[in-house]
Structure 1
Amino acid sequence: MRAAVCYLLLIICLPATAQIYQYTDAQGNPAYSDQPPSDTRSQAIAPTPTHAIPGPTRLPLPTPPAAARPRTVVAQPYEVLQVSGLPRDGALRANNGSFSVQVLLQPNLQGPHRLRLLLDDQPYGQPGTALELHLENIDRGEHRLAVQVLDGEHVVQQSPSTTFHLLRVHRP
């Protein structure tokens, strides 16, 4: 069974590995084909590799059971924690859906703490220490953005949500 699946995948992938030939047509223009022309001289060329950028991964936000949540109020370790870099009127134009935001943080990020974005109340990307965070391929429309300070999996502090409207070209 496994061998049959491997052969099937190999057969499917064969057209993707076809050779490409370059030649000059009758009008003197460069032309390309997957078959070498019989009447003119052609040169086999190697295709350049394509570059793929993986899309963002939204991680589910773990919700501890009510009994496991601490009931004590802990002082906020950061006096300033907010997302900046969004327009004041709330409308952001990013035709490809990609843009960056900055995190205003005072005092500086403490040793074990990491920052994580929340896009529409869902974790966005992996936690890190960078104060400039990049979002990619976000759908147009209204969104909420906030940032969390994490200590391992524990949320130490969260900024207020900022609402913005993403304007981007819609191509059906």
Structure 2
Amino acid sequence: MKQALLILLLAASTAMAAESGKIYTWTDAQGVVHYSDKPHPGAKETNVALSQQYDMPKADPNILKQAPKAAEQTRWSITILSPADEATLRENDGEMSVSVQTQPAMLPGQRVQLFMDGKPVGAARTVSSFVIRDVERGEHSIKVQLIDRSNQIIAESEPHTIYMHRASIFSPSRQPAGGGG
């Protein structure tokens, strides 16, 4: 215990004395060696080499400026995965599933807005798939937009042209059973 205390005192004294370069040592009546940076009656002065000094580089004050938010730095993209551009959908009920992908993945608060023929389809949603019902026969254009928390458009897909084929009510395959003629 005494040795540990002595080493600790020596280390502390050395650290304090490193600045002045002088340390004083003496032994008391009980034989305990003392160290100090201040003179004491009967103490011997010992010169200690100054510790190495290291000057810290000047801090760059620009690091304190607010960095742009991650969303502002990110280049967002949104793509329609399906249906493919120029696809022909044969769906008698007129149902179309649309699947989209964002790069990188959407963050909380971001939404996807689907457009068909230039008009929004429902409200913007936080999911990446949509189902549109009762799509009329013929040619349609779809696109999607990625919208951030502040309702700003941060990405827009290329439009896809889709052809919906639905059976006609006048088609022979749609006649009621037993009809004919």
In the aligned structure 2, how far is the partner of 1:157 from the partner of 1:86?
Answer: 19
CA separation in 2, counterparts of 1:133 and 1:150? 16
Q: Pick from 90, 105, 122 the counterpart of residue 125 of structure 1.
A: 122
Residue of structure 2 in register with 1:157 after alignment: 155
Displacement after TM superposition at 1:121 (Å): 1.2
Aligned to 1:13: none
Name whichever structure is richer in helix by fraction: 2
Indicate the structure with greater strand content: 1
1:2-151 aligned within 5 A: 77-78=75-76, 80-87=77-84, 90-151=87-148
* Unaligned residue ranges in structure 2 (runs of 5+): 1-71, 171-181
Using the size of structure 2 for normalisation, the TM-score is 0.49
Q: Counterpart in 2 of 1:166?
A: 164
| Structure 1 residue 157: Cα displacement | 1.7
Report how far residue 105 of structure 1 moved: 1.4
Q: 1:86, CA displacement in angstroms?
A: 1.3
CA RMSD of aligned residues (A): 2.1
Alignment partner of 1:104: what SS?
A: strand
* Structure of greater Rg: 2
Q: State the percentage of identical aligned residues.
A: 26
How far apart are 1:126 and its partner, in Å?
1.3
Offset from partner CA, 1:9-67 (integer Å, 9 cap, x none): xxxxxxxxxxxxxxxxxxxxxxxxxxxxxxxxxxxxxxxxxxxxxxxxxxxxxxxxxxx
How many residues were matched structurally? Answer: 98
Runs of 4+ in structure 1 off by over 4 angstroms are none
Residue 77 of structure 1, CA deviation: 3.2
Q: Please report how far the alpha carbon of residue 153 of structure 1 lies from its aligned counterpart in structure 2 after TM superposition.
A: 3.6
- Whole-angstrom CA distance in 1 between matches of 2:80 and 2:153: 17
TM value normalised by structure 1: 0.51
